[in-house]
Structure 1
Amino acid sequence: MKANIGISEANTAEVAHELSKLLADEFVLYTKARNAHWNVEGPDFINKHLFFETQYNELADMVDEVAERIRQLGHYAPATLGAYLELTELTEVFRQRNDGIGFIKELLEDHDHIIFKLRKLIDSFASQYHNEGTSDFITGLMQRHEKMAWFLRAHLQ
């Protein structure tokens, strides 16, 4: 059954498509945080291992929330690795060393990329697509990414 929420089908389709790209970015970032958790090495191993666990747990919640928002708009969320790799703007990094600082810099760069993306979508979702609910949703998501980025940045001081 189509969602009858006062937003045109064309607008919900566009918003769902943008959210699908965001979902792909979130899932790739989640996977990268998992990689950091599993593979970090060095004298600060236990601290970084636990820190990356908090990051991927937060990202897992965000992945779920973005997918559910797509469903609330009456569309299906992409849910395959192939779809995510086609939709994402993030890239995988193949590293020579699995040090905490390297993982932190990589994750921070991706959070910053997502923050910039979300900041652009906030206005277009509200003004162009008349979807203030999704605009508000991604504002909250952006704030969570900003906090996670702050935590990562603090490790680099």
Structure 2
Amino acid sequence: MAAGAPSVNIGIEEADRKAIAEALSRYLADSYTLYLKTHNFHWNITGPMFNTLHVMFETQYTEQWGALDDLAERIRALGFNAPGSYAEFMRLSSLPEEPGLTETADWREMVRQLTVGNEAVCRSARQVLAIASPAGDDPTVGLLGERLQVHEKNAWMLRSLLQ
């Protein structure tokens, strides 16, 4: 900390802020991994569903990209550094990376993986909420509530394509 810089005193105890920031870092890693996978599938989709899924994936990854900044900035507002490297994201994420998939997978497998990915991000959000809510961290609770709404809707829309 720089000389003379005040400590973080936002009405949430340091231990709670740390626990929330750590959970948010895992959520950010899951969100970033899902963003990359969605963008990858947007670039590499082929077949009869090309146009529909190319546009859908673009809409989803564009929205996801915008949210990443809000998540990282929330971690910073809590007084901690946000992860920002591939190595950190891979270590923190619960979503597996599956390189080379696009060479062998058809659109159904891409949609299935994005459905599973959006559902995993929802579970990660709920883990953050379980820590942030009792600590009285209303900004994190609000942010994660918005993210849940987006990812639950994405999972539903993607799942509907496979039914």
TM-score w.r.t. the length of structure 2 is 0.88
141, 145, 148: which is aligned to 1:139? 145
Equivalence for 1:31: 36
Equivalence for 1:115: 122
3-state SS of the aligned residue for 1:76?
coil
Q: CA deviation at 1:144?
A: 1.2
CA distance in 2, matches of 1:38, 1:23: 22
Write the deviation string for residues 113-153 of structure 1: whole angstroms up to 9, x where unpaired. Answer: 121222233233111x3323212221121111111112212
- Indicate whether 1:97 and 2:104 are aligned: yes
Equivalence for 2:49: 44
Q: Is the contact between residue 35 and residue 61 of structure 2 (CA under 8 Å) also seen in structure 1?
A: yes
CA distance in 2, matches of 1:14, 1:48: 37
Q: Is the contact between residue 23 and residue 63 of structure 1 (CA under 8 Å) also seen in structure 2?
A: yes
Write the deviation string for residues 102-122 of structure 1: whole angstroms up to 9, x where unpaired. Answer: 111001001111212222332
CA distance in 2, matches of 1:43, 1:56: 21
Runs (4+) off by over 3 Å: none
CA distance in 2, matches of 1:104, 1:3: 43
Q: What pairs up with 1:52-63 in 2 under 5 angstroms? A: 52-63=57-68
Q: Is the contact between residue 122 and residue 136 of structure 1 (CA under 8 Å) also seen in structure 2?
A: no
CA distance in 2, matches of 1:17, 1:126: 15
CA distance in 2, matches of 1:73, 1:80: 20
Equivalence for 2:13: 8
Q: CA deviation at 1:86?
A: 0.7
After superposition, the Cα gap between the structure-2 partners of 1:14 and 1:124, relative to the gap in structure 1 and judged at 3 Å, is closer
The number of aligned residues is: 156
142, 148, 152: which is aligned to 2:158? 152
Write the deviation string for residues 69-126 of structure 1: whole angstroms up to 9, x where unpaired. Answer: 1112122111111110111111022425242211110010011112122223323311
* Percent of matched pairs sharing the same residue: 36
3-state SS of the aligned residue for 2:133?
helix
CA distance in 2, matches of 1:135, 1:45: 37
In structure 2, stretches of 5+ residues that fail to align are none
Q: CA deviation at 1:4?
A: 2.0
